[in-house]
Amino acid sequence: MSEDTASGRITEEGGRSLPSVPGRYVVGIVGLLLLALLPLLANMELGLGVPGVFVFVVDDLFLLHLTTALYFGMFAMSWDTVSGYTGQISFGHGLFFAVGAYTSALLNLGYGIDPILSIPAGIVLAAVAGIVIGVPALRLRGPYLSLVTLVAPLILLQLFIFRSDVFGGELGLRNPENFLGFGVNDAAIVYYIALGLFVAIMALLLVVTRSDAGRVFTAIREDEDAVSSVGINPAKFKIFAFVLSAAIGGLAGAMYVHTPVGGPTPTELMSTTVNVEVIIAAVLGGMGTIVGAAIGGIFVGIVPQLLDSSGWIIPGFLPVVGGTPVADIDFLIFAVITLFLLYVLPGGILRAVIRNGRRVRNSRRGDDGVATDGGQSERVFTRVLRGWREKRRGDDDE
């Protein structure tokens, strides 16, 4: 029986927790396995068991759609790294996606550089973009910071239009070479490459966010001055988050345009739709968890395709939208659902599930961890803005 000291109490509780792997990890691993095995189910029909409902065929086209969704998931994870964790909400994250993509595409199309080399160049330039945004952002807080991120892709687009000869303007450039030459006929391979990258990125981001840097990130979100007061330089970590997020976003973008499903166009990479969709994805999945953003990203990426294949039609009796295929207004539906969720569950679905799970567990043992893993009591949003609110009210000091 260990001494009743504080540290004794901790190891005791720690000991109790080791054997059981948290349920959500099990679900995650199962999910990944499913994704990995999917191409082996080629040409099988999958459905929800109810005839005619959500039946889709796992064919090449489906795998390519899922590839797009995977890249979007990577993009969403990159967004979560900076916005969900440090609370610097990026409203124009497509900027990094596009910088990585265009750099790689231009090097490939213009100079014949192989994707193996042009993609790293895309990553580097995207990281530079992260610095360009992150450093000035240090001087700004809250909405003003977000405003800068909102405007950045617009400026980039203006540049693309101004020099259409180089950048292809609003229509973008033609497709560059496929990565390692795998094209439409190699759907399964393209898919596996995407899946591999997805897992690698998730692993990397999980390692970073579960390390000490992760607790500093979330602490910055909570209260930057408190972080300074414990001898940690918040600026350093804020830039780190931006650069990491930008680099990952750039990596995803650069790889994406070298697949048969992605092309270097502003619409696909940094349109308002994309920028808002990534926010929706991370919000639906749960900000500040990485995994939530990944799931949200895949969800937002694939559901429109599923709806399209399913051929569902909105019931005719509904005003305005009655009689149209669901797929046509998928973005609208997402937006509405997100608004609803933001209103009711501002932390996202994943966080709500985790919170409920943790509540059950907490009654049996001590706390599990810190906000790197879904957060305890409050919504991420509330925390991000409390700091802003406090600054607005001002200190009551003399």
Partner 1 sequence: MLGTVAPLQANLSTVLVQIVILSSLYALVALGFTLIFGVGGVLNLAHGANITIGAFVAFVVSSQMGYGGFVGLAAAFVLTGLLSGAYYLGLIKRIQDEPIMVMIITLVTAVAVEEVIRFVYGSQPKVLTLLSGRVNIGGSTVTFTQLVAFALSALLIVGMFAFVNYTRQGKALLATSMSHKGAALVGIEANRINLLVWVGAGALAGAAGVFLGSIQGASWAMGRAPLVLSFSIVVLGGIGSIRGSVLGAFVVGTLEILTVQYVDSSLTGLTPLLVLVAVLLLRPEGLFGRELVEA
Partner 2 sequence: MSSERQGSADTGATPQRESYGPDDGILVVDDLRKEFGGLVAVEDFSFAVEEQEILGFIGPNGAGKSTTFNCVTGFYEPTAGTVWYQGEDVTGRPSHEMVNAGLARTFQHFRPLHDRSVVDNVALALVPDKLFSFGGLRGGTRDRAARLCERVGLGDDLHRTPDELPHAGLLRLELARALATDPTLLLVDEPFAGLAGSEVESISNLLRELREEGLTLVVVDHNMRGLLSLIDRAVVINFGSKLAEGTPEEIRNDEEVQRAYLGGDL
Which residues of the chain form contacts with partner 2 (CB under 8 A)?
A: 5-7, 9-10, 14, 211-213, 215-216, 218-219, 221-223, 225-234, 236-237, 240, 366-367, 369-371, 375-378, 383, 386, 395-398
Return all residues near 65 (Cβ < 8 A) that are at least 6 apart.
261, 301, 302, 305
Helix (H) or strand (E) holding 301: helix 291-310
Radius of gyration, CA atoms only, the chain: 22
383 binds, among partner 2, partner 1, none (CB under 5 to 8 A by kind): partner 2
Q: How many C-beta neighbours within 10 Å does residue 204 have? A: 15
CA distance 283 to 386: 18
Residues in 368-387 at the binding interface with partner 1, rule: CB under 8 A: 381-382, 384-385
Contact in structure between 74 and 201 (CB atoms under 8 Å): yes
CA distance 68 to 271: 16
Residues in 87-106 at the binding interface with partner 1, rule: CB under 8 A: 89, 91
227 binds, among partner 1, partner 2, none (CB under 5 to 8 A by kind): partner 2
CA distance 331 to 272: 12
Angle at 131 between CA 81 and CA 282, to 5 degrees: 20
Helix (H) or strand (E) holding 10: helix 6-17
Closer to partner 2 by CB, 93 or 383: give it.
383
Name beta bridge partners: 313.
Answer: 325
CB of 227 to partner 1, least distance (A): 13
Q: Is 332 in the site for partner 1 (CB under 8 A)?
A: yes
Q: Is 136 in the site for partner 1 (CB under 8 A)?
A: yes
Residues in 208-227 at the binding interface with partner 1, rule: CB under 8 A: 224
Residues in 255-294 at the binding interface with partner 1, rule: CB under 8 A: 272-273, 276, 279-280, 283
Please state, in angstroms and as integers, the Cα–Cα distance from residue 69 to each residue in 102, 110, 225, 275, following that order: 20, 28, 38, 15
Closer to partner 1 by CB, 221 or 258: give it.
221
Q: Is 128 in the site for partner 1 (CB under 8 A)?
A: no
381 binds, among partner 2, partner 1, none (CB under 5 to 8 A by kind): partner 1
In the chain, helix, strand, coil percent, each to 5? 70, 0, 25
Q: Is 143 in the site for partner 1 (CB under 8 A)?
A: yes
CB of 35 to partner 2, least distance (A): 29
Q: Is 25 in the site for partner 1 (CB under 8 A)?
A: no
CA distance 298 to 161: 31
CA distance 285 to 300: 10
Site size toward partner 1 (CB under 8 A) is 48
CA distance 122 to 113: 12
CB of 390 to partner 1, least distance (A): 10
Q: Which of 36, 61, 141, 314 binds partner 1 (CB under 8 A)?
A: 141
Q: How many C-beta neighbours within 10 Å does residue 251 have? A: 26
12 binds, among partner 1, partner 2, none (CB under 5 to 8 A by kind): none
CA distance 193 to 61: 16
Q: Which of 21, 29, 339, 360 binds partner 1 (CB under 8 A)?
A: 339
Q: Is 111 in the site for partner 1 (CB under 8 A)?
A: no
Q: Which amino acid is at 134?
A: G
Say whether 106 sits in a helix, a strand or coil.
Answer: helix
Task: Point out which span in 179-187, 229-237, 306-314, 339-347 binds partner 1 (CB under 8 A).
Answer: 339-347
Q: Is 81 in the site for partner 1 (CB under 8 A)?
A: no
Q: Residue for token digits 């999980």?
A: 206
CB of 394 to partner 2, least distance (A): 11
Q: Is 162 in the site for partner 1 (CB under 8 A)?
A: yes
Binding footprint of partner 1 on the chain (CB under 8 A) = 89, 91, 136, 139-144, 146-148, 151, 154-155, 158, 161-162, 224, 272-273, 276, 279-280, 283, 320-321, 324, 328-329, 331-332, 335-336, 338-339, 342-343, 346, 381-382, 384-385, 388-389, 391-393
